[in-house]
Amino acid sequence: MGDVTRVTIVYDNSAFKTGLRADWGFSAFIEAGGHRMLFDTGRSGSILLSNMEKLGIEARDIDGVFISHPDFDHIGGLPDLLNENDGVTLWVPRSFPGCPAAREVVRIEGPRELYKGIHSTGEIDGIEQSLCIETQRGIVIIAGCSHPRMAHIIREASRFGRPYGIVGGLHGNRPESLKVFDLICATHCTLYKNEIASLYPEQYCEGGVGKVIVL
Ligand SMILES: [Zn+2]
Ligand SMILES: [Zn+2]
């Protein structure tokens, strides 16, 4: 895929830029392959929509919403987002409870392509799915909390190409488990942020609301 991929963090435990609201949770706006997707939705719809507005992101322009796992800090903003735009395709993991009011709801169990060059790992260990984007440098993984073992996430992502980077919450995964990556944006619930930053000074990049990663 020759196009530039852009990931903008719109919901995170910390803010990268002033004027944006930090809150426990995660969401990222992704522009890739001519598509505009939202990955997770944070905890609060009003914070999500307010951060998106300040970053110039229109809910109406989004064509797909991807939910990594049904924790409150990843799905809390979903009803308000769908209230603004219910014409999206919504990909949820198989274990997602209830039936959200989107135009098209796709329950994901195994790995699958969502758009050309954009894939889901499938629900790993029955817990969580990650988004895998093909870029010129390799596969970039967008992760919600990384509740499954990092080795399993990397194994599943590897079916789409060479893992290049990871962006998102890495929870309690040990820093050593990240050595395959050239880019590590460890944010949200990541427990070992400082250790990761000192072990991988070249690869580490700070997350936070308003952070834009161009790939
Ligand atoms: Zn989380
Ligand atoms: Zn979680």
User: In the prediction, which pLDDT does 28 show?
Assistant: 99
What averages of pLDDT result for each successive group of 10 residues across the chain (215 residues)?
85 98 98 97 98 98 98 98 97 93 95 98 97 97 98 98 98 98 98 98 98 97
Check residue 187 and give its pLDDT: 98
DSSP class of residue 62? -
Could you tell me the two tokens for 141?
């993984």
pLDDT at 113 (0 to 100): 98
Domains of the chain (ranges, CATH numbers)? 6-214 (3.60.15.10)
Return the pLDDT at 1: 43
Give the helix/strand (H/E) hosting 75.
helix 72-75
Q: What confidence score (pLDDT) does residue 3 get?
A: 78
CA–chain centroid gap for 203, Å, is 18
User: What spacing in Å lies between the alpha carbon of 13 and ligand 1's midpoint?
Assistant: 9
The pTM of the full predicted model, rounded to 2 decimals, is: 0.97
**What pLDDT score does 99 carry?**
86
Cross-strand bridge partners of residue 31:
6, 36
Query: Residues with Cβ within 5 Å of ion ligand 2?
Result: 71, 145
Cα 74 to middle of ligand 1, angstroms: 6
